[in-house]
Amino acid sequence: MKRVFDLVVSTIALICLAPFFLVIAVIVIADSKGPVFFRQVRVGKDNKDFGLLKFRSMVVNQSNKVQLTIGSRDSRITKSGYWLRKYKLDELPQLLNIFKGEMSFVGPRPEVRKYVNLYTNEQQKVLSVKPGLTDWASIQFSNESDLLASSNDPENFYIQEIIPVKLSQNLSYIERNNLWIDFQIIFLTIKKVMFSK
């Protein structure tokens, strides 16, 4: 049932948003040199790598040097990228990942291999389901980059303080997930993006 929902909704969304995608593509290209899309290898279901898609929001070849975004005004972020990130529009190409079956609308946000390698055996259970476009942790840590910017050691803070909380929430979700909970997460995510200060 979940896959049917993902396939139907992602198909409709991709068709309806196609003109909007084109507008964003033009803005991204006009703002800075480089491709429209940014592809990053993330870890998905069954511990398999896949290419997560985003609209490019950083200058070319910069986002690979540091895998965490430090603050909403990270110097690597382009002018258009700031607004794309603020309203999570950079995440929209992941509708293609959902359509292809690599992701779901709701599920643990996929992480890069560097951090997945730090998971305990218990935490690796989050890899038993498809990663999602959003989850409980995405709502709680919607200001993650600002939290990292306030730390003297952003990466250590991310590993020691943020990842454990995210994984705990994801494991709880896996134990009791259903479409009703998914709808709640989707609604709260949209509300957070639209009305957060």
Model pTM score: 0.91
Task: Report pLDDT digits (tens) over 89-132.
Answer: 999 999 999 999 999 999 999 999 999 999 999 999 999 999 99
Please report which confidence band the pLDDT of residue 75 belongs to, taking 50, 70 and 90 as the band edges.
confident
Mean pLDDT of 35-60: 96
pLDDT at 15: 98
Between 145 and 95, residue with greater pLDDT: 95
Cβ proximity of 78 and 58 under 8 Å: yes
What dihedral angle (degrees, nearest 10) is formed by the CA atoms of 41, 8, 2, 94?
A: 20
pLDDT at 121: 96
pLDDT at 116: 97
* Backbone phi and psi for residue 157, each to the nearest 5 degrees, phi listed first: -60, -40
pLDDT at 177: 86
Q: Which residues on neighbouring strands pair with residue 40, listed in sequence order? A: 52
- Mean pLDDT rounded to a whole number for the chain: 91
Residue 147 has pLDDT above 60, yes or no: yes
pLDDT at 151: 86
pLDDT at 183: 95
Cβ proximity of 54 and 91 under 8 Å: yes
Task: Report pLDDT digits (tens) over 162-197.
Answer: 999 999 999 999 998 889 999 999 999 999 888 865
Residue 20 has pLDDT above 80, yes or no: yes
The percent of residues above 70 in pLDDT, for the chain, comes to 93
Query: Could you tell me the two tokens for 65?
Result: 């040097």
Angle (CA) 183-189-194 rounded to 5° is 130
pLDDT at 148: 87
Please report which confidence band the pLDDT of residue 67 belongs to, taking 50, 70 and 90 as the band edges.
low
